[in-house]
Amino acid sequence: MTSPARPPAACLIGWPAAHSRSPLIHHYWLRTLGIEGGYVIEAVPPDDLRDFVLRLSLRGFVGANVTIPHKEKVLALSTPDARAQAIGAANTLWFADGELRATNTDVEGFASNLDASAPGWDKAEEALVLGAGGAARAVVFGLLERGIKRVHLVNRTLSRAERLAETFGAAVEPATWDKVRGLLPRASLLVNTTSLGMHGQGALDIDVGLLPQHAVVADLVYVPLQTELLKAAKARGLRTADGLGMLLHQAVRGFELWFGQRPQVTSELRALVEADLTHA
Ligand code: NAP
C-alpha cells in the first residue's frame, strides 16, 4: 500500500523565528486559489542551516523563504541566479531539474510595486537612492535592469555606497548626504531604502519640494504604512509607492515557483496584512 501524497509545503527559514507576515500572505493565496498546500515557519539556528537546507526536500518542502541571519549563507548551499549573486543574498529557494535554486525576489517586489502604483516610472533617466544596505542592493539591481541610466546613491557611510557602486558599475554614483539637496531637482525617482522614517528610528529630512513635478517617490519602510516622506510627496501631488506594496509583490514569485500558480496582490490581501501590522 502506498501512503497518500502530502500536499506541497514551503517554509520560512530564520533564526530566531521572528514574527513574519509571510504565512498570512501565502495562506491567503492558498485559500483563495483553492490550492491544497502549506507554509510554515522553521526556526533554524546557524549551526543547523547547512543540514536543514541540504535536506529541504527530504523534510517534505518544495521550497523556502530565507530571512535573517541566513540570506547570505544560503548562496553557498544552492545555485543562485544572477540577481542573488549580484545582491549577495537570497530570500527564496526552490527546486528545478533536481537542483536547489536561489533568487532574490526583493528586486521584482520593488519593480512590480512601482509598475502597479506609478506606471511609466522606468522612463526616469536619473534616480536618487537613499541608503546602501541589503535592500538598496536589490533596488539598484532593479533600477539598472529596467534601464535607469544613472543612480545617485547617497549613504551615511560613504564606503558602503562605494562598495555597492563597485559591484554595479559606472551607472551608480556614490554620494554623501550633503549632496542630497543638489541631486533632488534631477531625480525623476526618489527611493528611501534607509530605516529612517520607521517607527522608533530617526526622521528622514528630505525636502520633496525640490523634486521635479513628474517625480515618483518610493519608500521601503512600511511601519508606519504612510511615512512622513510619502505624506509629503502626496501633499505635493507626486505619485508614490509604499513599502507594504513591495512586501506583498516580493512574495508573488516564490508562491508561483512552489505552487505553480501566479497569485495576485489584491486589495483584500493588502487590507489583511495592514490589519496585522496595525495590531502588531
Ligand atoms: P540595512 O542593511 O541595515 O541598511 C540600513 C540602511 O539605513 C543603511 O544604508 C544605513 O546607513 C541607513 N541608516 C540607518 N540608520 C541611519 C541613520 N540614523 N542615518 C542615516 N542612515 C541610516 O537594512 P536593509 O535590509 O537594507 O533595510 C533597510 C530598510 O528597508 C528597513 O526599514 C527595512 O524594513 C526596509 N525593507 C523593506 C522591504 C519591503 O519589502 N518593503 C524589503 C527590505 C527592506 P549606514 O550604511 O551608514 O549604516
pLDDT tens digits, 39-92: 999 999 999 999 999 999 999 999 999 999 999 999 999 999 999 999 999 999
pLDDT at 1: 45
pLDDT at 19: 83
Q: Are 190 and 218 in contact (CB under 8 A)?
A: yes
pLDDT at 3: 53
pLDDT at 6: 80
- Return the number of other C-beta atoms located less than 10 Å from residue 273's C-beta: 20
Candidate of 156, 227, 248 to mutate for ligand 1, largest count of ligand atoms within 8 Å of Cβ: 156
Mean residue pLDDT of the chain comes to 95
**pTM for the full model?**
0.95
| Euclidean distance between CA atoms 73 and 65, whole angstroms | 13
The rounded Å distance from CA 151 to ligand 1 centre is 17
The rounded Å distance from CA 133 to ligand 1 centre is 6
* Closest protein CA for atom 40 of ligand 1: 247
Q: Grid coordinates in use for 181?
A: 539637496
| Euclidean distance between CA atoms 195 and 72, whole angstroms | 20
131 lines ligand 1 (CB under 6 A): yes
Task: For residue range 208-261, list pLDDT tens digits in order.
Answer: 999 999 999 999 999 999 999 999 999 999 999 999 999 999 999 999 999 999
Q: Grid coordinates in use for 200?
A: 522608533
pLDDT at 107: 96
Task: Write the CA distances from 135 to 71, 107, 247, 279, integer angstroms.
Answer: 12, 9, 12, 25
Q: Which atom of ligand 1 is nearest to the CA of 245?
A: 41
Res 2 pLDDT > 90: no
Q: Which atom of ligand 1 is nearest to the CA of 137?
A: 26
Question: What's the pLDDT band for 17 if we cut at 50, 70, 90?
Answer: confident
Task: For residue range 159-202, list pLDDT tens digits in order.
Answer: 999 999 999 999 999 999 999 999 999 999 999 999 999 999 99
12 lines ligand 1 (CB under 6 A): no
The rounded Å distance from CA 244 to ligand 1 centre is 15
pLDDT at 4: 59
Q: Which atom of ligand 1 is nearest to the CA of 177?
A: 20
The rounded Å distance from CA 137 to ligand 1 centre is 11
| Euclidean distance between CA atoms 119 and 112, whole angstroms | 10
Q: Which residues are catalytic?
A: 71
Task: For residue range 76-87, list pLDDT tens digits in order.
Answer: 999 999 999 999
132 lines ligand 1 (CB under 6 A): yes
| Euclidean distance between CA atoms 73 and 113, whole angstroms | 27
Short-list 182, 185, 204, CA closest to 193: 204
- Return the number of other C-beta atoms located less than 10 Å from residue 162's C-beta: 14
